[in-house]
Structure 1
Amino acid sequence: MTTQDRLRWDARYENQGAPPEAVALPEPFAAHEHEFPATGQALELACGAGVFSVWLARRGLHVWGVDVSPVAIAHARDLAARNGVGEICRFDVVDLDGGLPAGPPVDVFVCHRFRDPRLDRAIIERLAPGALLAVSALSEVGAQPGRFRAKPGELTAAFAQLETIASGEGDGEAWLLARK
């Protein structure tokens, strides 16, 4: 990622300020809360201010969240501490243009409102047997085409070797919940 892109994300998180202390499972996954395990390891790409990661940690998972923005990572660490899960959350600045950070297989893999098709194969390989993938992205469905928007059916095609639990497309968002 370019320095200009990183600075743009930093500015966005600085303008938003720290997230509120209360966390909830983000839409569109809230209706499928029962699918998320209460133990194990989780990895969240482009975790932003850490809301999804902290929700997973409060559920009982050990979570590693990565994001390109140091400002977002600072917010995520603060949110985890304020929610009493700082000891089971790790947040690091990582530029995903270099690929996934090295690490063991995970039980939950999250990419919420982030999409980089170059990482699809590595994501699948990183899932432990029976692991859950929760991915959402901007979509062309119900919106204008764009450089960072998934094409219709892109997520289900990219992760076709996984067992789809639920998926949807519309109003400019595509999402998939699947199990390895």
Structure 2
Amino acid sequence: MAEADRTRWDRKYASKPGGAPGWPEVFAQYVDEVPTAGQALDLACGTGSASVWLAERGLTVRGVDVSAIAIEQARRLSEGRAVSDRCRFSVGDLDDGLPPGPPVDVVLCHRFRDPRLYRAIVDRMKPGGLLAISVLSAVGAAPGIFRAATAGELDLAFADLQAIATGEGDGQAWLLARMKGDRR
């Protein structure tokens, strides 16, 4: 990611305080699919709202974001909610690939899109692991610089997974799916 992009995200997060813990609204009706134990990876975690929610649910979470300001807000949120022992946050540029680590039970990627990472995301999941991914899409919205996902992109990219639910429209595409194999 260009330094200008990193600076832009730092500026955005500096002017916007982090919110309360919460699972992304797009997946809210499927909350029962989220395990209550195991390991999670939150890509482009921002201020850690979903990471902390996952930790409060019982998972151990690694959150990664390009913005040092967002990561600091995520750390403070996890400390304030007394789950810092189950949250590890790091500044990382996902343009360089996923951070190294073991397979996980949950991968969350909310509002971040990089098709170069799709294979690595699948490879990081444990058998039975859950993927929750949402991206901005040109489907049902005016085109824009971040609305780059094409129609059917997520369904095609993650066709090897067992889809639980999928949707596309109003400028967003999303998929909730499980890695085939035993559920852990």
Q: What displacement does 1:142 show?
A: 1.2
CA RMSD of superposed structures (Å)? 0.9
Cross-structure match for 2:174: 175
**Hey, what's the Cα distance between the residues in 2 that align with 1:7 and 1:74?**
15
Cross-structure match for 1:153: 152
Q: What displacement does 1:144 show?
A: 2.0
Cross-structure match for 2:97: 99
Cross-structure match for 1:30: 28
Cross-structure match for 1:110: 108
**Hey, what's the Cα distance between the residues in 2 that align with 1:135 and 1:62?**
19
**Hey, what's the Cα distance between the residues in 1 that align with 2:140 and 2:71?**
31
**Hey, what's the Cα distance between the residues in 2 that align with 1:136 and 1:169?**
9
Unaligned runs of 5+ in 2: 180-184
1:134 aligns with 2:137: no
**Hey, what's the Cα distance between the residues in 2 that align with 1:154 and 1:56?**
26
**Hey, what's the Cα distance between the residues in 2 that align with 1:163 and 1:146?**
30
Q: Deviations over 1:6-40 (max 9, x none)?
A: 000000000102x23x3221111110000000000
Amino acid at match of 1:151: T
Cross-structure match for 2:4: 4
Which one of the candidate residues 77, 80, 85 is aligned to 1:79? 77
Q: What TM-score, normalized to structure 1?
A: 0.96
**Hey, what's the Cα distance between the residues in 2 that align with 1:147 and 1:11?**
19
**Hey, what's the Cα distance between the residues in 2 that align with 1:170 and 1:31?**
17
Cross-structure match for 1:43: 41
Q: What TM-score, normalized to structure 2?
A: 0.94
Cross-structure match for 1:120: 118
Q: Deviations over 1:115-171 (max 9, x none)?
A: 100001111010000000000000111112334321111011100000000010111
Aligned length: 178
Q: Deviations over 1:52-95 (max 9, x none)?
A: 11110000000000000000000100111111111100000001
Amino acid at match of 1:98: D
Unaligned runs of 5+ in 1: none
Which one of the candidate residues 53, 59, 62 is aligned to 1:61? 59
Amino acid at match of 1:8: R
**Hey, what's the Cα distance between the residues in 2 that align with 1:51 and 1:23?**
4
Quick check: 2:21–2:48 contact (8 Å CA) kept in 1?
A: no
**Hey, what's the Cα distance between the residues in 2 that align with 1:167 and 1:84?**
33
**Hey, what's the Cα distance between the residues in 2 that align with 1:159 and 1:50?**
25
Identical aligned pairs, as a percentage? 60
1:164 aligns with 2:163: yes
